[in-house]
Amino acid sequence: MSIQQINPATHNARTVQMYEGYARNYALLIDPLPDPDLRHWLDRLCTDVGPGARILEVGSGTGRDADYLESLGAEVHRTDATQAFLDIQAERGRKAHRLNVVTDDLTAAGQPGYDAIVAMCVLIHVDRPALPGVLAKIQGALRPYGLFLVNVREGSADRISATCFTSQWRPGEFEGLVSDAAFVIEGTGRFVNGDGDVWRTLLCRREA
């Protein structure tokens, strides 16, 4: 099947299915601790929200970043759209819930808004037309002035294959979507990983 024949509506489902088969290998490849650039942003987030903050992590994967956040005193609600990642966390004694940021509600019935939401290396797999709705759900799940930490891959063209969709954003493009979703951007960063991929990190605050 050629790239041109892939229906964009199936991109997210294809990506989730890819991770179902790849999660175990992925868990063996990643470092046990977040890289120094990511730790900087997680540290900054936890300093701002304070000990005991309720944080929703979208796309927890193996739970590595959630482990680090909890070591800083946060209370993390771990989630992932991929059952294989939930199983990996359960084997480590960690409780995580099935959640697809595109199709599911992010708010918990009877619960106040989260102090922060973290979505690292996740929204790159959301189709562009769905992103405004996803950002609106994230904004609505936060308490007033709550924080949103997110990163996206920098580039001039999306990467689309038969199994995975990854968006790439020119500088300023994703920032515009975030601003349109009633967030104030309080910090930005740029990081080049070992594979040469450029990542842009945004720390955003929900407007009242």
User: Would you kindly state where each structural domain of the chain is located, as residue ranges?
Assistant: 7-103+111-206
Query: 7-103+111-206, superfamily in CATH?
Result: Vaccinia Virus protein VP39 (3.40.50.150)
The rounded percent of the chain whose pLDDT value lies above 70 is: 94
Q: What is the mean pLDDT of the chain?
A: 92
Q: Are 90 and 83 in contact (CB under 8 A)?
A: no
How do residues 79-89 score in pLDDT, each as one tens digit? 999 999 999 99
The mean pLDDT value for 112-138 works out to 95
The mean pLDDT value for 77-100 works out to 97
Distance CA 91, CA 191 (A): 32
Predicted TM-score (pTM) of the model is 0.93
In three state form, how does the secondary structure of the chain look? CCHHHCCHHHHHHHHHHHHHHHHHHHHHHCCCCCCHHHHHHHHHHHHHHCCCCEEEECCCCCCHHHHHHHHCCCEEEEEECCHHHHHHHHHCCCCEEECCCCCCCCCCCCCCCEEEEEECCCHHHCCHHHHHHHHHHHHHHEEEEEEEEEEEEECCCCEECCCCEECEECCCHHHHHHHHCCEEEEEEEEEECCCCCEEEEEEEEECC
Length of the chain: 208
User: How crowded is residue 83: how many other Cβ atoms within 10 Å of its Cβ?
Assistant: 13
